[in-house]
Amino acid sequence: MGIAERKGRDRAERERRITAAARAIAESEGWNAVTIRRLAEEIEHSQPVLYSHFENRDAIVTAVAVEGFRDLASTLRQAAKGATSRQTARMNVASAYLAFAREHLALYEAMFTLPTGLRFAEAGTAPELRDAFAALAAVIDAAPDAAELVVETFWATLHGLAQLEHAGRIRESTRDARIRLVVLALGECSADL
């Protein structure tokens, strides 16, 4: 049992090193620089070793994206802590979401833009994705039958704002006003559903 446990720990540590290297390269040089060959060099293992952990580059991106959803859920929960009202919690969460997207461009790209096998709102949805959704849902006031729709709309709105900000299509100086508008509109429409 001791040898099997050590092999399992070694395998998990190699996978962690692979995804950490992928994140670091992507953050500094972009995802185009992340190749199996480059990752093998970075972690000082052969390409076949990487392929024994991940089927291909997309599988590595998927693993990085899952880590991103775990990080996002933690960030959103932390942002909601200590809020004195649901509206303040939503404001804090929306601001934290946009800051996360802005500060972790490559990670956010892995989570939402690059090809992955991740699926939302299905029976097999990864727990990390469900957790990120739950972190958003925790600050939403809506009737139970409308809650999922409201959370999806909140998420989609934040994602759209993040993408538009990243592309430089909307003014950064009005971010706080946009967040207030989204939160106020969300509160009003939630009451009507």
pLDDT digits (tens, 9 = 90+) for 117-144: 898 888 889 999 999 999 999 999 887 7
Q: Are 97 and 173 part of one and the same domain?
A: yes
Lowest mean pLDDT segment, chosen from 31-40, 119-128, 142-151: 142-151
* Six-digit token string for 97: 């979401």
User: For residue 46, what is the domain's CATH number?
Assistant: 1.10.10.60
Q: Are 87 and 171 part of one and the same domain?
A: yes
- For residue 60, give the nearest of 102, 27, 15 by alpha carbon: 15
Q: Are 49 and 133 part of one and the same domain?
A: no
What would the pLDDT profile of 157-174 be if each residue is shown by its tens digit?
Answer: 999 999 999 999 999 899
Q: Are 136 and 111 part of one and the same domain?
A: yes
Measured CA to CA, the distance from residue 190 to residue 188 in angstroms comes to 5
User: For residue 84, what is the domain's CATH number?
Assistant: 1.10.357.10
Residue with token string 């303040």: 88
Q: Are 120 and 165 part of one and the same domain?
A: yes
- For residue 63, give the nearest of 25, 5, 22, 8 by alpha carbon: 22
- List the domain range (segments joined by +) for residue 61: 57-192
Q: Are 137 and 186 part of one and the same domain?
A: yes
Measured CA to CA, the distance from residue 146 to residue 191 in angstroms comes to 10
Measured CA to CA, the distance from residue 18 to residue 42 in angstroms comes to 8
Measured CA to CA, the distance from residue 32 to residue 113 in angstroms comes to 13
Measured CA to CA, the distance from residue 77 to residue 80 in angstroms comes to 5
* Six-digit token string for 135: 């972190």
Q: Which of 20, 35, 54 is the last residue of a domain?
A: 54
The pTM of this model reads 0.91
Cβ 11 vs Cβ 53: under 8 Å:
yes
Q: Are 50 and 82 part of one and the same domain?
A: no
Confidence of residue 4 (pLDDT cuts 50, 70, 90): confident
Residues in the chain: 193
